[in-house]
Amino acid sequence: MTPTQQLQVENLIKVYERGEVLALNDVSMSVERGEFLILIGLSGSGKSTLLRCMNRLIEPTSGKVYFDGIDVTAAGSTQLRHVRRRIGMVFQQFNLVKRSSVLTNVLAGRLGYTSMGRSITGRFSKADIQRAKESLERVGLAEKMYVRADQLSGGQQQRVGIARAIMQEPEVMFADEPVSALDPATSNSILQYLEQMKEEDGVTVICALHFLSLARRYGTRILALNAGEIVFEGLPTEIDADKFKEIYGEDAEEVEIR
């Protein structure tokens, strides 16, 4: 592993026991530091599974994942937690605790660094609370701090999700279709926040997306999956009509989203 490589995946295979689905079929790839890597592919092509296998939210069936030289697949529970708290993650369904306040949700991103006593009593350190306020300001939601999460709109909830990830001060951001539940304008702003993290903090971003227009705009590199295999790897500009059909199938037609 060269020093510029942030993540390396070797021969990753994932078979879902229940549905006898081969979700990932011998996937190997590496991610450089400071990249904005976009994963594209049809629903069920293995984008989410690949992301979740990399921080072992899903246990891979076989294969290796290295994060910054650490073998994630062989890590014990403590080491795994330490790897996980260096990786921020945002989700398609935002995954906020709907009944808790925005501030509590954001502070939950800091749990990996919080001691037992502080988290049981709910007394986060002043520094953490300050950090939470700053990250909420960064996503423009400082005035919603004490509002319950389910009072917010979809776009606002995803921004809270980003603020929660910022709390981890991550080196890598995983985004699992972060804008699929949002309208096009909001989608753009969410991706702008991710790009901002990449530009300002040097965070490596790996983002699963459906819209090619957004992928072309924000991605520095694109990886296309089909039926659990990498079918394309290259620059966003390299995807032309033929490549598109190769990735999405013959019947697909590219839809422009602005």
- Interface residues toward another protein, by CB under 8 A: 15, 17-20, 55, 57, 81-89, 91, 93-100, 104, 108-114, 116, 119-120, 161, 164-165, 167-168, 174
- For another protein, give the closer residue by CB, 4 or 62: 62
Helix (H, G, I), strand (E, B) or coil at 46: coil
> In whole angstroms, what is the distance from residue 169 CA to residue 172 CA?
9
Question: Are residues 205 and 221 in contact, defined by beta-carbon separation less than 8 angstroms?
Answer: no
For residue 55, the minimal CB distance to another protein (Å) is 6
Our CB check for another protein shows the closer of 89 and 214 to be 89
Name the H helices within 92-249: 102-108, 116-121, 126-138, 154-167, 184-201, 212-218, 241-248
CB closer to another protein, 94 vs 218 = 94
Phi, psi at residue 87, to the nearest 5°? -115, 115
Residue (61 or 213) nearer to another protein, CB: 61
Mapped onto helix, strand or coil, the DSSP state of residue 210 is: coil
Cβ proximity to another protein: between 83 and 182 the closer is: 83
Cβ at position 49, least distance to another protein in Å: 13
Query: Shortest distance, CB of residue 74 to another protein, whole angstroms?
Result: 17
Q: Side-chain half-sphere of 225: how many Cα atoms within 13 Å? A: 29
Write down the least CB distance from residue 98 to another protein, Å: 7
Distance of CA 210 to the CA centre of its chain: 14
Q: How far is the CB of 93 from another protein (least distance, A)?
A: 5
DSSP state of 220: S
